[in-house]
């Protein structure tokens, strides 16, 4: 091999090595380093140990994040590594929190300190304090604690609204009692609602969260708290890739009310809502499905005393976009009762309008009442068989009109979502008195035009759209 060839090969090897080194460095730079964040802000995260008044049977409440465990393995884990009798832990639970003011106010989750007889807060420097509960709010799962100290380290508060799906986030807490444990992941989704939480729009992440993390902070890469780790989705009691955090702006507003008033007063509108489907958006003439569709208005509610009507779609609230129906309740709930709130709505055949409504105060929700079903048949048209409401049904359903659905065949009506047992109340805003009245209204509808039905299902009122084929 000539000297020239050797020189070329050496140059090629050098360039290839340099390329791989630079590529590795670039890849390393793309992965975040959380070490500085933990060092700077970990001191403001605390461990919370609670002794409860009442302890339910079964595994001790170290599973402080709500889940649905089947056969928790943590009992053997605790016994093996700590040589503790788990029965002695039956009145204890563990959680996390973070300091929001230098004079000792701490945010955590309400379920962490529920029924607490004694609360012990341990700081990062191992100092321990007895804490008192300033206030709790079960609807949002937020609690505010106070310890007697000063010049404490505090977290920096961020803006959860600026979070992007896919953005890196970090949780610091005490899973299974292991203090100052850091776990990282990304934001999986925003604006999530859970069946038991209508007034919180959760941040969903894939950050590993386990029992004991509950109440701890969720940080962005700037070292700002953007959420309070609250719940996990699990059938084992452990992390399964779905974690939910309360947005920090909501938590701080609730914390401020707990500090100033000892309780939370929420705004109340008094409506039932549903998502705007693509079919409904087309029937309304909207370019894309968005907003919150008002399906029902409670009697004597703030909405009932306003110009808002069933069938209106709320597009904006106080200048904030309402993309989905679940967005509206948290926005209204965080508004002070008595506020004159602005609603930008879309009304079918009338277009956009602005309505001002004076909000009431949210009280305890009424319990649901089961509906009794009775069937009566009439002629079948549009793949639909309807019956007139009997006096007993009208009394039981607390309505004085409507057509009762007794069967639904394959076709556009079933595809729209109509079911047996539904009661059709309106067709395109026109009152349905009985089964014959429903069919008469359909006969006068323009050909190929989508029809919007207002329907009662159980204790819920819904809207659905379909295009009659004949």
Going residue by residue through the chain (470 aa), what tens digit of pLDDT does each one get? 566 655 656 656 656 665 655 555 544 456 788 999 999 999 999 999 998 755 444 433 333 444 434 434 333 333 333 334 444 444 577 899 999 999 999 999 999 998 888 999 999 999 999 999 999 999 899 999 999 999 999 999 999 999 999 999 999 999 888 888 999 999 999 988 776 667 788 999 999 988 889 999 999 999 999 999 998 876 666 667 789 999 999 999 999 999 999 889 999 998 888 899 999 999 999 989 999 999 888 888 999 999 999 999 999 999 999 998 888 988 999 899 999 999 999 998 899 999 999 999 987 543 333 333 333 334 445 677 787 777 766 766 677 788 888 777 777 777 788 887 788 888 888 888 888 788 778 776 666 678 888 888 776 788 888 776 65
Q: Which CATH class is domain 267-361?
A: mainly beta
* Rounded distance between C-alpha atoms, residue 287 and residue 206, angstroms: 33
Cβ atoms of 242 and 219 closer than 8 Å: no
Domain residue limits, the chain: 31-264, 267-361, 380-466
Only one residue has tokens 């709010």, namely 137
Q: Are 107 and 144 in contact (CB under 8 A)?
A: yes
What's this model's pTM, rounded to 2 decimal places? 0.67
Pairing of strands 197-205, 430-431: unpaired
pLDDT of res. 95: 93
Burial 453-467 (b: 16+ CB within 10 A, else e): bbbbbeeebbbbbbb
In this prediction, residue 13 carries a pLDDT of 61
Cα–Cα dist 85/79, whole Å: 6
Q: Do domains 31-264 and 267-361 have the same CATH topology?
A: no
For residue 381, the Cα-to-chain-centroid distance in whole angstroms is 41
Amino acid 419: pLDDT: 81
Cβ of 391: how many Cβ atoms within 10 Å?
7
Q: Where are the beta strands (DSSP E) in 222-289?
A: 224-232, 243-247, 267-268, 271-275
Q: Six-digit token pair at 252?
A: 């701080």
Can you tell me the distance from the alpha carbon of 109 to that of 330, in angstroms, rounded to the nearest whole number? 17
Which CATH superfamily includes the segment(s) 380-466? PDZ domain (2.30.42.10)
* Beta carbons of 416 and 453 less than 8 angstroms apart: yes
Instruction: Give the alpha-carbon dihedral of 439, 440, 445, 450, to 10 degrees.
Output: -20
Report how far residue 235's alpha carbon sits from residue 69's, in angstroms, rounded to the nearest whole number.
Answer: 5
Q: In 223-245, which positions are buried (b, 16+ CB within 10 angstroms) versus exposed (e)?
A: bbbbbbbbbbebebbbbeebbbb
Distance CA 386, CA 355 (A): 37
Closest CA to 66 of 232, 198, 292: 232
Residues 455, 428 contacting (CB under 8 angstroms): no
Q: Which two tokens stand for residue 285?
A: 């003439």
- Active site residue ranges: 111, 141, 214
- Name the CATH architecture for the domain at 31-264: Beta Barrel (2.40)
**Residue ranges with strand state E in 80-223:** 92-99, 105-108, 116-122, 128-137, 142-146, 156-157, 168-173, 181-194, 197-205, 217-219
d(CA 224, CA 162) in angstroms, rounded, equals 12
Q: Looking at residue 30, what is its pLDDT? A: 66
Residue/partner pairs of 432-440 with CB below 8 Å, 24 or more apart: 432/401, 432/402, 432/403, 433/401, 434/388, 434/389, 434/401, 434/402, 434/403, 435/378, 435/386, 435/387, 435/388, 435/403, 435/404, 436/378, 437/403, 438/386, 438/403, 439/379, 439/381, 439/382, 439/386
CB 296 within 8 A of CB 310: yes
Determine the pLDDT at residue 21: 59
Dihedral sign for Cα 399, 403, 406, 408, please.
Answer: negative
Q: What is the DSSP letter of 70?
A: S
């Amino acid at each position: 091999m000539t000297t020239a060839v050797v020189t070329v090969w050496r140059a090629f090897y050098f360039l290839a090595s340099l390329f791989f080194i630079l590529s590795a460095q670039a890849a390393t730079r793309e992965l975040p380093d959380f070490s500085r964040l933990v060092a700077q802000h970990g001191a403001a995260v605390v461990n919370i140990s609670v002794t409860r008044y009442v302890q339910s049977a079964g595994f001790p409440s170290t599973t402080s994040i709500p889940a649905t465990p089947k056969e928790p393995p943590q009992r053997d884990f605790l016994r093996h590594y700590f040589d503790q009798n788990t029965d002695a832990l039956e009145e204890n639970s563990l959680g996390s929190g973070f300091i929001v003011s230098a004079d000792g106010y701490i945010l955590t989750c309400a379920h962490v300190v529920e029924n607490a007889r004694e609360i012990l807060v341990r700081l990062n420097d191992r100092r321990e304090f007895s804490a008192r509960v300033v206030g709790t709010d079960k609807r949002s799962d937020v609690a505010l604690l106070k310890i007697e100290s000063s010049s404490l380290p505090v977290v920096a508060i961020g803006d959860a609204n600026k979070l992007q799906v896919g953005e890196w986030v970090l949780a610091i807490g005490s899973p299974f009692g292991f203090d100052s444990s850091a776990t990282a992941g990304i934001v999986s989704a925003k604006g999530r609602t859970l069946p038991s939480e209508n007034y919180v729009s959760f941040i969903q992440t894939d950050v590993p969260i386990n029992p004991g993390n509950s109440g701890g902070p969720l940080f962005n890469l700037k070292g700002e708290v953007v959420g309070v780790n609250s719940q996990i989705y699990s059938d084992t009691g452990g992390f399964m890739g779905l974690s939910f955090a309360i947005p920090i702006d909501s938590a701080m507003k609730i914390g401020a009310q707990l500090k100033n008033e000892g309780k939370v007063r929420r705004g109340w509108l008094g409506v039932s809502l549903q998502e705007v489907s693509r079919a409904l958006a087309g029937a309304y003439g909207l370019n894309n499905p968005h907003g919150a569709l008002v399906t029902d208005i409670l009697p004597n509610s703030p909405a009932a005393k306003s110009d808002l009507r069933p069938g209106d779609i709320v597009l904006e609230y106080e200048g904030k976009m309402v993309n989905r129906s679940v967005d509206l309740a948290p926005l209204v709930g965080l508004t002070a009762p008595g506020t004159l709130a602005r609603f930008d709505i879309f009304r079918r055949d009338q277009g956009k309008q602005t309505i001002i409504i004076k909000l009431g105060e949210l009280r305890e929700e009424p319990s649901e009442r089961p509906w009794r079903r009775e069937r009566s048949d009439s002629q079948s048209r549009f793949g639909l068989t309807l019956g007139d409401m009997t006096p007993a049904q009208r009394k039981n359903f607390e309505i004085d009109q409507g057509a009762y659905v007794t069967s639904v065949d394959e076709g556009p009506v079933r595809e729209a979502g109509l079911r047996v047992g539904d009661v059709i109340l309106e067709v395109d805003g026109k009152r349905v008195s009985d089964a014959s009245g429903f069919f008469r209204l359909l006969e006068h509808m323009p050909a190929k035009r989508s029809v919007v039905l207002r329907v009662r299902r159980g204790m819920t009122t819904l809207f659905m759209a379909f295009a009659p084929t004949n």
